[in-house]
Structure formats: structure tokens, C-alpha cells
Amino acid sequence: MVEFSFLQPDRPAAFKDKFVTKVNECLTSYSDGARGEVGVLGLPLSKTSISLSQSSEAPNSIRACLSAFTTFSGKKDTDYKNIKVLDFGDVQVHPTDMEESIERIRISVREMLTRNACNRYILLGGDHGISYPSIRAFGEHYGKIGVIQWDAHHDVRNLEDGGRTNGTPFRSLMEGGHLKGDNLIQIGIRDFANAKVYHEYTKEKGVTIYTIDDIECTGIEPIIKKELDRLSNFVDIIYLSVDMDVVDQAFAPGCPAIGPGGITSRELLSSISAAASHQKVKAMDLVEIDPSKDFRDMTSRLAAAAMLRFMYTV
């Protein structure tokens, strides 16, 4: 006779402390009529990447890494375990048609927003190509949109050499009339990472650019706060687009376009906290993580930590 069984069908063999709540435990699958503070949607598209990438696997990788964090903030002496996060799952992209996939993402983001289920949203890429349909959908729903883009690159490549890719989202948005150049802020642009013609293009469009040198001189949080104050006078909502290759390769080795000289993980997290506290900030995307290139999930863990800074701002 077996006195006690340690068999656990369909359950992981994980230690559970009854006093600890992990962030992944707060994710609830969306159902009709549900309400939550934050909505999460996966956009697993990597076919628009100009380099080989498995960033389509990132939404699941980032979600899994939420189990590494608790809901308690010692800094704020606050437990956020009652903050409800609705998970809308992943958009089913087309297996071969990139334009169809882009349109599916736009439609899906619009559908999520029309449910009016959450106050703010997190979009998990995917490569940076997902930002074009996502930002477009937010603009269609809310009105005039402003964007703060963390990135080593301008992402305004021409559309003739390959169509819409992860290097073209902001050119597509500006030329499509979905985003004014004056309402785009680029933070962390790295030296020797862009072509002169694209640098000149952003200047012509009125894009505000802060390089790594600017961050070193001024600090990243004062830049964020300054641009939030300015943008809020001209737009209805503000969208944060975080390309993880803005972070130095030492902290984010799982990016397809890693490079030295980027911002630190602490600079990324502190700047997202500063931005997320603004009332007009409604959404954030996290893009350009390839789990197959990562080391011990370092980049996905950083993205998960960024999610916490966005979700738990009060």
C-alpha cells in the first residue's frame, strides 16, 4: 500500500513557497467580458527580419521568464499580486505571406483594443517589423500617437530592397501618414550602426534623436521625462517601442543585431519606469529577441523585467 504519492500528473516539479507569488501566476487567459489592468499580446513574427532570426519564439520565452520574478517590490514596499494581467495569446501569422501577416497583426491589435478590457497593453514581438501594424492600430483606435523608440538603429530603411522588413517600420509609419516625424523620439542610436542617408532622412522628417553619447552626457531619465512632457502636448497617446538591441551585448546577448557600446540593463529598466508612469503612455512593445541565440535566457529575462516596470508603476 502506497502511503503517500509524489506523482503529479500535468504539474511541474517546482518548489512552491506559500508566501511567494510569482508574476506568471498573475496572467489570466482573456475571455469575453474580462477586465484587467494590463493586456498582453504575442506577435510571433520573425519572417520580416533581414537577418536569420527565431524571434517568433520570444513571446513564449518572455512569458516563461516571468516565473523568475515575484510580485513584491521592496523598493516601493508594495505587493502587486492583485494586479490582473490578461493574456490575449498569440496572433496566428501566415506561414509564408509577410504582408498578410502584417495585416493580421493590425487587425488583431485593433480587435484587442475594441474589447476595452484593459487600461494599458504590452506587445511581445517578434522582430521590429511588428511595430508598424501595431502602432498603426493604436493610432487608428486612439487618435494622434507619439512614439518613444529605444533602438541602436533608425529603422527607416528603403522599401525597394526587400519590402517591409524589421528595418522599415518607422519609414512605413511616417510615409503612410500614421506617425508624424515630429512625434517620434529615438533613444540610444549607436555610432557606426546606420547609413548616412537614413540619418539624413530622420532629420528631414523632424525625428528627435538621442545618441548613446547624448545619454552619457545627460542621463537617460532626464531625456525621457523631457520628451514625455513635450510629446504629451501634441498627441493623444504615447507608445513605447523597445528594440532590445539598444542594450549593450553584455546584457542582451540574444539579439540578432548585438553590438558593444549600448545602454546598460539598469538604464533600460529605469527609463521604462520613468516613461510608464506618464498617464498618456498606453502601450509598449518588446522586440528583437532570438531565444536560440540567448545565453541562460538573459535577454528574455531582461524583457520580462521590463514588463514588470511597465505593469507595476503605481
Q: Could you tell me the three cell numbers for 287?
A: 522586440
Residue 214 marked in a binding site = no
Contact 101, 138 (CB under 8 A): no
Of 238, 243, 45, the C-alpha closest to 130 is 45
Of 288, 202, 189, 185, the C-alpha closest to 238 is 185
Of 142, 46, 154, the C-alpha closest to 91 is 46
Residue 243 marked in a binding site = yes
Residue 199 marked in a binding site = no
d(CA 122, CA 284): 5
Give the CA distances from residue 122 to residues 96, 132, 194, 286, in Å, rounded to whole numbers and listed in that order. 26, 15, 28, 8
**What's the maximum distance between 2 C-alpha atoms anywhere in the chain?**
80
Residue 128 marked in a binding site = yes
Beta strands at 78-79 and 72-73: parallel, antiparallel or unpaired? antiparallel
- The alpha carbon of residue 239 and the mean position of all alpha carbons in its chain are separated, in whole angstroms, by 10
Residue 94 marked in a binding site = no
Which residues fall in the annotated binding site for Mn(2+)?
128, 151, 153, 155, 243, 245
Which residues fall in the annotated binding site?
128, 151, 153, 155, 243, 245
